[in-house]
């Protein structure tokens, strides 16, 4: 797993240096906004929508530890994390716990979604960092040993090293699945 992440980083670095990727953050088109006209109302982000999708939503339920369904029907896949599987006939160690952990954080609550370079994965799910009450869920899952780092470029380029440190600290402390599962599902 570590070799895959490192190889991905090495392959993505030339693209960044070559200017092929835009600077991170939500993909919002500001070309149509009136300059200096604040009477127009809210910006796209303030209005709850970006070019990728909603920037706020209410979570209906957690499909598993890293995938959510909003009450509006959108499916959201958390960026940079991978929790043990509990769907499609798979039942990996710590999967139920990670699912319940995520559900306890977000179910029925308003969340904020922050997008990166790519908005959707191959399954049509929104790719986002999710926060509830100012606490980023993606980060919390790694800190608590509920998830492994999963880096799929170009998303996460600006946070991958920090998140790798969070995962390593949880691993070293035997937090969550790191202290309970042998082997750990994501290795």
The residues that are catalytic are: 77, 85, 125
Angle, alpha carbons 124-126-129 (nearest 5°): 155
Q: List strand residue ranges (DSSP E) for 35-183, in order.
A: 56-64, 67-70, 75-78, 81-82, 110-114, 126-132, 135-136, 148-149
* Burial category of 48 from C-beta neighbours within 10 Å (exposed 0-12, middle 13-18, buried 19 and up): middle
Of 14, 175, 7, the closest CA to residue 94 belongs to 175
């Amino acid at each position: 797993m570590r070799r895959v992440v490192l190889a991905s980083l090495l392959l993505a670095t030339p693209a960044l240096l070559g200017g092929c990727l835009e600077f991170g953050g939500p993909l919002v088109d500001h070309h149509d906004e009136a300059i200096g006209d604040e009477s127009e109302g809210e910006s796209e982000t303030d209005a709850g929508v970006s070019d990728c999708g909603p920037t706020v939503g209410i979570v209906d339920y957690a499909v598993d530890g890293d995938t959510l369904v909003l009450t509006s029907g959108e499916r959201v896949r958390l960026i940079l994390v991978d929790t043990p599987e509990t769907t499609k006939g798979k039942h990996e160690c710590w999967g139920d716990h990670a699912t319940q952990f995520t559900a306890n954080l977000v179910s029925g609550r308003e969340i904020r979604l922050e997008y990166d370079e790519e908005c959707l994965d191959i399954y049509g799910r929104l790719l986002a960092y999710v926060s509830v009450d100012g606490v980023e869920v993606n980060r919390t899952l790694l800190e608590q040993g509920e998830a492994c780092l999963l880096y799929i470029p170009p998303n996460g380029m600006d946070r991958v090293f920090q998140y790798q440190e969070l995962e390593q600290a949880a691993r070293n402390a035997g937090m969550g699945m790191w202290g309970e599962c042998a082997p750990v599902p994501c290795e």
